[in-house]
Chain A
């Protein structure tokens, strides 16, 4: 579509057969964004290869093979989305939103229970977790609703509508129960509303309500005897405030993760890493993979990973400003917020400054659904970038 437009733009005598890069659309992509995402998943595979050899008896490369496969699949998915005009998703917002809610709800019926919570479907090759893909779907749908409803109802009505649309899937995910992902949904909702221009006063009210809600959930509800959070959820949320000596305790795990990262010092302990090798730190291939990086590769490795995330999010924010239409601005803003929130909460959790919420580190944590969803999000950013470049090109050649 854009290719024809680009060719039409040139006067006939100067028409040049487009080169391979041109036909693949490479000049219109954000190379830095793509490379930083690929580098992160590559580093993930590298880390898993070194740290999880003994985890699955008999197959030392269990996690490595799968994560590499998800990475390749994700990169393909990213490229496919790059070639699609993201503006289509705006028209499909109702369908996307319905699919989002239905797929999350279906988990309750057909889902595969792991550790007491139903989050995923067992598919032949891997278990698919709809709430991960849901993050991206929520951004696409909610941004569409915000653009579409820009002139319907009073400002307060609009704010409440956006909140409800965003919080409904968040509530479904919360009930799975998956507190961490529901918080990501909340962050996405707030970010899209923020970029969408919801008034500061409204945010102030929402903020106040959040504080009141948190207080009542964590303090009031348990004292009245009607806890909203499950025991372990509450414990995790508050544990970073009170390190503990009990290994079965969330505070203990967090303390061990902190020790792991700290003991890595400047250059890391390599194969002499004990914290993450000897099960002091749990979930080392998923939620606590940053602790593995910190202990094995030290400040150099951990800072490199953080820098790659900074690069990724910087490019995402840049794409927010480049977008050719406001739908793209909102979508890019939502995705940037989603990535930022996940990185900060997960790394913060590893560093002992954020509660344990079970949010995976995008592209680093082992898991097909998470890796794929993140690459799809990056693919949408690429699409926004490409559309912006093509429209500029069109404008300049005219």
Chain B
């Protein structure tokens, strides 16, 4: 720094010096005023002001934001909102006299189909979390109840009615299993990271895509902060700040409403429990997925009556179960595609190799027969797939019985493992392996270790196998697209209220397999012949279908139940875009129940193309 002795300015005239001195003095006076005032406020009168500050109370109210809509891939609304009325009780306005209070609450309990005990519990819990705030007793109360309460207001002091948003389902049961529902956040959920900013009483998606994409759909509640006096009563004009609620973003699904409708209609027409799925083989976008029996998702927007509980949650037919994702069964012959691929890739079968099928295979004294005890003679892979020769695949199962090749390929294709779908998978699937059974045997949970018979069963999709239409669809899609194990998903994109795309979902494939194109072509040819060649197993269903397809029937034995009908189909052949899987419990032979339903789904998918081809009649390939 410079020396102090340097500090000498230019000569300042005495007049200017006077003015500057006055300027400086003025500044000193101003600062003195500020300091004095500050000292007065904070040191001298600080206590008074602190008391005043503590007397200043506010109460904030959250106003719920409408959730975003859920749309199908073409923008048709699947889930929207409607406004409804919620019944609230303001505890401070309830009668002070315990007997009167009790009388009013028990009357309220009756009116809302609840019990006094349940009602007291709700109030107690909510008051613990938000003292002095109104407690919501029931959402979505009927208008009759509101009118009744308003007409008898003097009998129900402290009862208030508030507008809330409730989910509306314009298409009734359509896509009920994937949509899920919305409900109040539970205590356990409050602890989860993803619900960090929420408070008790907030509503979140509880299942299906409402749950998976809750963060996008939920929106942000508004906040109104008002000033209240020491008793908690709002002071006049005491509105301090209010933040408008931000509605949630819209979710567009990969679902195609017409495909979804066709699938659900086909399932309902047959009337058997089961599931279907239609998926893009290259992207994993699910165009339709459904389960029968189904349910009205709107049921869950209001409290269930006992009758409704019996019909849904307690119903032994399980209408709430999504049989396409969570329905686990042996698959019957639809599994043969996997067996064929495993045998070819592991050199247990040469392309073009012919195996003798006398109608039965005897292994270790045990007879494994063809369905219907037919004898197909010498068959190659393509023929074996076409006529669904069991002995051919029994032989393959026997060849791979202790090498684990079949399991390795099935596992790689996605059988018996989580699929990565953006929907909750509740059940655990099972791909029987040597190790699994031997472990059970060691623990004394089964009577015998792994044997060739187990693998022979698996080769034709029977026995202990427990897999879902979804897993099978992934396996078929993998072969169809040449080896990419796609991640199935129903979420397509998120758009804001103005329709701008905020986020697109295209989940990375699970993995890539190396599949020999020659093997792929041979298997697809076999499946094509099965569907559209004279002697094929599903020729009766698909023989006259104008678009070339490759499809496989399956008839799974599930004693004590009747046989389960399966059908898996890839279309169009030879370069499939979609895969459809259908299964129906107790539906019998594959071509009997599942294949006709699959055809209806394909008809919906190819509707435009079929209409176009209707005029110049094209040969359905020979």
A134 adjacent to chain B (CB < 8 Å): no
Between B42, B227, B241, the greatest number of chain A beta carbons within 10 A of the residue's beta carbon is seen for: B42
> Within the assembled complex, what's the spacing in Å between the Cα atoms of A388 and B15?
21
Given known A-B contacts A266-B46, A392-B8, A317 and B23 have beta carbons under 8 A apart:
yes
Q: Choose from B9, B17, B23, B238 the contact partner of A194 (Cβ within 8 Å).
A: B23
Q: Choose from B53, B220, B239, B241 the contact partner of A274 (Cβ within 8 Å).
A: B53
B30 adjacent to chain A (CB < 8 Å): yes
A261 adjacent to chain B (CB < 8 Å): yes
Contacts of A299 in B (CB 8 A): 38-39, 42-43
B38 touches A302 (CB 8 A): yes
CB distance from A24 to the nearest CB of B (A): 14
Given known A-B contacts A303-B35, A340-B27, A263 and B49 have beta carbons under 8 A apart:
yes
Between B41, B49, B220, B239, the greatest number of chain A beta carbons within 10 A of the residue's beta carbon is seen for: B41
Which A57-105 residues have C-beta < 8 A from chain B?
A: 57
B41 touches A258 (CB 8 A): yes
CB distance from A51 to the nearest CB of B (A): 15
Contacts of A197 in B (CB 8 A): 15-16, 19
CB distance from A9 to the nearest CB of B (A): 14
Contacts of A120 in B (CB 8 A): none
A263 touches B46 (CB 8 A): yes
Contacts of B43 in A (CB 8 A): 265-266, 299
Contacts of A28 in B (CB 8 A): 2
A389 adjacent to chain B (CB < 8 Å): yes
Given known A-B contacts A306-B34, A389-B2, A263 and B23 have beta carbons under 8 A apart:
no
A274 touches B42 (CB 8 A): no
Q: Choose from A274, A298, A340, A389 the contact partner of B54 (Cβ within 8 Å).
A: A274
B1 adjacent to chain A (CB < 8 Å): yes
Contacts of B103 in A (CB 8 A): none
As a 0/1 sequence over residues 160 to 194 of chain A, the CB contacts with chain B under 8 angstroms (1 = contact) are: 00000000000000000000000000000001001
As a 0/1 sequence over residues 238 to 254 of chain B, the CB contacts with chain A under 8 angstroms (1 = contact) are: 11110000000000000
CB distance from A246 to the nearest CB of B (A): 5
B19 touches A306 (CB 8 A): no
CB distance from B553 to the nearest CB of A (A): 54
Contacts of B19 in A (CB 8 A): 194-195, 197
Contacts of B305 in A (CB 8 A): none
A263 touches B38 (CB 8 A): no
A302 touches B237 (CB 8 A): no
> Within the assembled complex, what's the spacing in Å between the Cα atoms of A195 and B17?
10
Contacts of B16 in A (CB 8 A): 195, 197, 329
Contacts of A227 in B (CB 8 A): none
A259 touches B56 (CB 8 A): yes
B24 adjacent to chain A (CB < 8 Å): yes
**Chain B: interface residue total (CB-CB under 8 A):** 46
Contacts of B45 in A (CB 8 A): 262
Given known A-B contacts A299-B42, A347-B34, A351-B34, A247 and B239 have beta carbons under 8 A apart:
yes
A353 adjacent to chain B (CB < 8 Å): yes
Contacts of B447 in A (CB 8 A): none
> Within the assembled complex, what's the spacing in Å between the Cα atoms of A299 and B43?
7
Q: Choose from A246, A275, A313 the contact partner of B53 (Cβ within 8 Å).
A: A275
> Within the assembled complex, what's the spacing in Å between the Cα atoms of A195 and B13?
12
> Within the assembled complex, what's the spacing in Å between the Cα atoms of A321 and B14?
12
CB distance from B233 to the nearest CB of A (A): 15
> Within the assembled complex, what's the spacing in Å between the Cα atoms of A258 and B41?
8
A306 touches B35 (CB 8 A): yes
CB distance from B20 to the nearest CB of A (A): 6
As a 0/1 sequence over residues 334 to 346 of chain A, the CB contacts with chain B under 8 angstroms (1 = contact) are: 0011001001100
> Within the assembled complex, what's the spacing in Å between the Cα atoms of A279 and B59?
12
Given known A-B contacts A261-B49, A274-B56, A396 and B38 have beta carbons under 8 A apart:
no
B23 touches A280 (CB 8 A): no
A247 touches B238 (CB 8 A): yes
The residue in chain B whose Cβ has the minimal distance to the Cβ of A195 is B19
CB distance from A285 to the nearest CB of B (A): 14
> Within the assembled complex, what's the spacing in Å between the Cα atoms of A319 and B262?
86
B20 touches A320 (CB 8 A): yes
Majority SS at the chain A contact face = helix
Contacts of A263 in B (CB 8 A): 46, 49-50, 52-54
The residue in chain B whose Cβ has the minimal distance to the Cβ of A300 is B42
Contacts of B6 in A (CB 8 A): 389, 392-393, 396
Q: Choose from A266, A314, A347 the contact partner of B42 (Cβ within 8 Å).
A: A266
Q: Choose from A247, A298, A351, A393 the contact partner of B237 (Cβ within 8 Å).
A: A247
CB distance from A155 to the nearest CB of B (A): 14
Which A254-271 residues have C-beta < 8 A from chain B?
A: 256, 258-266, 269
Q: Choose from B15, B20, B34, B240 the contact partner of A279 (Cβ within 8 Å).
A: B240
A278 adjacent to chain B (CB < 8 Å): yes
B195 adjacent to chain A (CB < 8 Å): no
A344 touches B53 (CB 8 A): no
CB distance from A363 to the nearest CB of B (A): 16
B10 adjacent to chain A (CB < 8 Å): yes
B33 adjacent to chain A (CB < 8 Å): yes
A157 adjacent to chain B (CB < 8 Å): no
> Within the assembled complex, what's the spacing in Å between the Cα atoms of A248 and B53?
18
> Within the assembled complex, what's the spacing in Å between the Cα atoms of A392 and B42?
46
B48 touches A278 (CB 8 A): no
> Within the assembled complex, what's the spacing in Å between the Cα atoms of A303 and B16?
32
Contacts of B34 in A (CB 8 A): 306, 343-344, 347-348, 351
Contacts of B46 in A (CB 8 A): 262-266
As a 0/1 sequence over residues 243 to 255 of chain A, the CB contacts with chain B under 8 angstroms (1 = contact) are: 0001110000000
Contacts of A264 in B (CB 8 A): 42, 46
The residue in chain A whose Cβ has the minimal distance to the Cβ of B10 is A324
B31 adjacent to chain A (CB < 8 Å): yes
Contacts of A347 in B (CB 8 A): 34
B241 touches A388 (CB 8 A): no
Q: Choose from B35, B50, B227, B237 the contact partner of A262 (Cβ within 8 Å).
A: B50
Contacts of A337 in B (CB 8 A): 23
As a 0/1 sequence over residues 316 to 329 of chain A, the CB contacts with chain B under 8 angstroms (1 = contact) are: 01001111110001
The residue in chain A whose Cβ has the minimal distance to the Cβ of B46 is A265
B237 touches A27 (CB 8 A): no
Contacts of A279 in B (CB 8 A): 58, 225, 240-241
Contacts of A313 in B (CB 8 A): 27, 31
> Within the assembled complex, what's the spacing in Å between the Cα atoms of A303 and B37?
11
CB distance from A123 to the nearest CB of B (A): 24
A362 adjacent to chain B (CB < 8 Å): no
Given known A-B contacts A262-B42, A299-B43, A320-B20, A280 and B1 have beta carbons under 8 A apart:
no
A27 touches B23 (CB 8 A): no
> Within the assembled complex, what's the spacing in Å between the Cα atoms of A313 and B39?
21
CB distance from A75 to the nearest CB of B (A): 20
> Within the assembled complex, what's the spacing in Å between the Cα atoms of A7 and B220?
66
A262 touches B31 (CB 8 A): no
B231 adjacent to chain A (CB < 8 Å): no
A351 touches B56 (CB 8 A): no
Which A9-27 residues have C-beta < 8 A from chain B?
A: 27
A–B pairs, 30, beta carbons within 8 Å: A28-B2, A194-B19, A195-B19, A195-B20, A197-B16, A247-B239, A262-B50, A262-B53, A263-B49, A263-B53, A264-B42, A274-B54, A280-B240, A294-B38, A295-B53, A299-B39, A303-B35, A303-B38, A306-B35, A306-B38, A313-B31, A320-B20, A320-B23, A322-B10, A329-B16, A333-B20, A347-B34, A348-B34, A351-B41, A389-B6
Q: Which residues of A does B touch, CB under 8 Å?
A: 27-28, 31, 57, 191, 194-195, 197, 246-248, 256, 258-266, 269, 274-275, 278-280, 294-295, 298-299, 302-303, 306, 309-310, 313-314, 317, 320-325, 329, 333, 336-337, 340, 343-344, 347-348, 351-353, 388-389, 392-393, 396
20 additional contacts, CB 8 Å, given A265-B50, A309-B31, A321-B9?
A191-B23, A197-B15, A246-B237, A247-B227, A247-B237, A247-B238, A256-B56, A263-B50, A265-B46, A266-B42, A266-B43, A269-B50, A278-B240, A279-B58, A317-B23, A322-B10, A325-B10, A352-B41, A388-B9, A388-B10
Q: Which 10 pairs from chain A and chain B are nearest by CB?
A: A262-B49, A265-B46, A263-B53, A263-B50, A322-B9, A299-B42, A262-B41, A279-B241, A279-B240, A263-B49
